[in-house]
Amino acid sequence: MNLVIAEKPSVAQSIAKVLGCNDKQDGYLSGGGYLVSWCVGHLVELAEPETYDSKYETWKKEDLPIIPDVFQYQVTAATRKQFKVLKDLLHRDDVDCVTNACDAGREGELIFRLVYDEAKCNKPMKRLWISSMEDEAIRDGFAGLKDGQKYDRLYEAALCRERADWIVGINATRLFSSLYGQTLNVGRVMTPTLALTVAREAEIRAFRPEDFYTVILSTEIGDLGSKRFSDREEAKELLIKCTLAGKLTITKAEKKEKQEKAPALFDLTTLQREANKRLGYTAQQTLDYTQSLYEKKLVSYPRTDSRYLTDDMEASLPNLIAKAERVSGLKPTEAQDHHCVINSKKVTDHHAIIPTASVDKADLSELPTGEREVLRLIATRLLEAVSSPCIYAEVVLEGECENERFGAKGKTVIDAGWKGVAKISEKKKDNPDDTPLGDISSLHEGDEIKITQAGVKAGKTTPPKSYTEDLYCKG
């Protein structure tokens, strides 16, 4: 008998359905030579300091640092009943194999192994490693179960992170709480993140805007701007000189056709950034929505750091693209490059996040708004990723007048390519050099062009932007 342990009841039910486990028992399902049960999040967690020594019940600086020689674990009170179900199943005489069907990632490995170890089980261990909750993916996964010991290092990595969080959190929280006489929660990740945010906000509050002035020379080709002057009179002086000169000497007139390749598919981080930028969702909201879509068999596994698909998936791409079109209501460009999203060498545990083959069977109107929007975002990115590059012409025009440099840059889209798939308008930066320019093909270095109008444009420096989850992830 193979005991299968999933991370959540909903996932266990999906697996049980595929395996033919139709008999409902107290805390598990059975049938077809399988028992299928589940965890409820972390059933087993690190023990509190007072478990090691009663003196730690009182927080004292003198007792720090607390670093156990051997870490102890405990079953949480809220999940003790389900742990007992699992422990009893693990020790059943007819169970000769245990399959870890928790989420195929570091945290899922930790959840299962802690239960397995706490129950003192030593039966052979298998690993279900899938990137989709579709029935076919589950069947294929069970047809090729992995040796559980193959994932020992993944488990060890999870232990390292968990224990690092405990050591830093317990000791730093107790230290600063003792020093300042109030509870101050300190964490390995949250505290440095909070420090960055506080420092940025302090920088913003301390910022004092400064005036600056730019001389703008208008010509038949377009407007060219000077450097910034902090003194208005200095800018006015240059303005008068250029007005009297009446002409600008060309020092550079360059036009280049450039391409911007389509973006790669989403990994979790880039999906969270894009959802924050386009939809205003936090990283946690995006993860929650995507995890729910995964459990509903509509997208692939979310906790991935890969932005590519494996070589064996290339044949299925046309079908997935057609389904992504129906979900998003959009179309990729006529010229497509499917091979650009395929690269097995850049896929580690899981491929990029994409819609599944079952996605077109879902009634999108029944999905919560957040899940529906994230699903469309994922489908749109697949269409963008296989589309042709955006082709544009970049024009750089520079000139000199009264020993001062003036410049302008222009950008004209020749073929929107992938950027035309979703037709998302980009915000233009307030940059005096970013200006529409006419035809420069006849201009050469040394040519002189007439100044038709001149003026001084006033501006103010702006503070750095507050961190958003998109801006913070960019670094």
CA distance linking residue 449 with residue 433, whole number of Å: 18
The dihedral built from the CA positions of residue 356, 362, 364 and 370, taken in this order, carries a sign that is negative
> pLDDT, tens digit, for every residue of 6-37?
999 999 999 999 999 999 999 999 999 999 99
Q: For all residues of the chain together, what is the average pLDDT?
A: 94
> pLDDT, tens digit, for every residue of 355-414?
999 998 888 899 999 999 999 999 999 999 999 999 999 999 999 999 999 999 998 899
Out of 3.20.20.70, 3.40.50.140, 3.40.50.150, 3.30.470.20, which CATH number does the structure's domain 2-162 have?
3.40.50.140
Helices (H), 267-424: 268-279, 283-295, 317-328, 369-385, 419-422
Asked if 268 and 131 count as a contact pair (C-beta separation under 8 A), the reply is no
CA distance linking residue 120 with residue 142, whole number of Å: 25
pLDDT for 430:
45
From 153, 159, 19, 179, select the one nearest 99 (Cα to Cα).
Answer: 19
Number of C-beta neighbours around residue 213 at 10 A = 20
Domain ranges for the chain? 2-162, 211-261+389-474, 268-385
Helices (H), 55-210: 80-90, 106-118, 135-143, 152-180, 190-206
Between the CA of residue 97 and those of 2, 8, 248, 368, what are the distances in Å?
Answer: 5, 20, 83, 39
Check for a shared fold between 2-162 and 268-385: no
CATH architecture of 211-261+389-474: Distorted Sandwich (2.70)
Asked if 397 and 449 count as a contact pair (C-beta separation under 8 A), the reply is no
**Which residues belong to the active site?**
301
Q: Which positions ≥6 away from 173 have C-beta within 8 Å?
A: 183, 184, 185, 186, 187
Domain boundaries 268-385, corresponding CATH code: 1.10.290.10
DSSP secondary structure letter of residue 379: H
pLDDT at 41 over 90: no
* Per-position b or e across 427-437, b if 16+ CB within 10 A of its CB: eeeeebbebeb
**Cis preceding linkage at 65, omega within 30:** yes
Q: Give Dmax (Cα) for the chain.
A: 100
